[in-house]
């Protein structure tokens, strides 16, 4: 049996901000994907990774800018990564000395 991957629900807040930045209704966008708003605020919640592919395909079809996802860096906050978002060095991609 193949184990299905998942993503932190709070990371999807980045997607919501990105969608809104491009003039789409983020609430409607997530409803169409079957994701409840309260799920995105739950730091323990996970969302099936396959929905990320569906979400970005949907966004690409609805947003005229083919490079829309490059603006995601404007939409993130350390809290989107849970506790790890606040660990020094983690966000910079550096390993933390033991």
Q: What is the pLDDT of residues 48-97, one digit of tens each?
A: 999 988 998 999 999 998 888 888 888 887 777 776 676 776 655 555 45
CA-closest candidate to residue 77, choices 25, 48, 41: 41
Contact 59/67 with Cβ under 8 angstroms? no
CB burial of residue 65 (10 Å; 0-12, 13-18, 19+): exposed
Contact 24/55 with Cβ under 8 angstroms? no
**CA 59, CA 71: separation in Å to the nearest integer?**
13
State the pLDDT at residue 10: 87
With 0.95 as the threshold, say if the pTM is over it: no
The answer on pLDDT for 98 being more than 50 is no
């Amino acid at each position: 049996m193949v184990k299905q991957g998942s993503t932190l629900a709070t990371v999807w807040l980045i997607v919501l901000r990105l969608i809104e930045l491009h003039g789409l209704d983020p609430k409607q966008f997530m409803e169409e994907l079957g994701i409840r708003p309260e799920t995105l605020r739950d730091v323990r919640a996970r969302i099936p990774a396959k929905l990320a592919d569906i979400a970005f395909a949907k966004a690409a079809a609805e947003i005229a800018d083919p490079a829309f996802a490059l603006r995601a860096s404007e939409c993130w906050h350390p809290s989107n990564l849970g506790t790890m978002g606040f660990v020094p060095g983690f966000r910079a991609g550096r390993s933390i000395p033991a």
